[in-house]
Structure 1
């Protein structure tokens, strides 16, 4: 664009700088309506979580459209039941478990781990202790592992594997007395004949010394 064609841009620049030297070449347009169509955005604030499909199935028999998901839900729903619109899970090894929303799980884990119970349990025992207290959610064991990893004391006193990372070497002993292990022990207090050391030989196959 040529400089002589920048008249409108110059006039706008002067207006921004509160300049009074303006010509009538600056035009204004008043918009009486929206320049674009208004788009409505619908927000679904319904509290849908892992319990929602089970509650819908137990209340109304609702199943997902996918056949595999419908078969899975129908099978899993047999372990749950509703009481006063609250979902519970049946178990064989514990009492009836109250199903917990995922945004409330940290509270239950912390209460058992370092709150009222103050057990400071390891990850697996922590998950089972919460279940014994009567609560359940699908990823309880994973959440317990994540929680325990956050605490310094749990890491200090955790069980550290002491096995060597190297692959053990296999030693084959085909016949007796084919391979011997020999070692020397001492020095011991002087014995008769000025003896101070003991020579030990062990057969690898029969462990005969």
Structure 2
């Protein structure tokens, strides 16, 4: 009996963990770090070390070793009902000017924003570049497609249409940049349920001893 109750408690904990991930959403109106990606594509080619694009182990934790055609996927980005007004990317490159495409749901789809950038002078000298956004609302998988490559990326972000219309900067509170409000609420409810089940299980064990 003790063993079965323990197993039940562990199952509940795992369900809570899985559900919290399923309901989590990335808030685009803060700063999205490259490490929040759910997939890094390297089908268009790899560098000699065979690793393709990756998060570099330095103080900036930037995405590097990018080849033209690679992309970074960010799952469950929630643009809300009002949508975004601008797309932004913080990058560095000593090489030629180029562009980065922002696409939803399919990396081969039509971009909803294309950000053009200029050389910044060094691989770790970062600047923000931005472009207007058209026609994107709700929750989507976001693909940041590196049209030209040869850049390091330290962050991406968006300005909300609601914030732009009201004269603000369009940024959401920075206290929870990686999780949508619905995801947090659901996580709290599920975690509370799991705690209740585990407490009842312990009470039953105490009575049986």
Q: So what's the TM-score if we normalise by structure 2?
A: 0.21
The structure with the largest alpha-carbon Rg is 1
Structure with the higher fraction of residues in helix conformation: 1
Q: So what's the TM-score if we normalise by structure 1?
A: 0.21
Where relative contact order (Cα < 8 A, 6+ residues apart) is larger, the structure is: 2
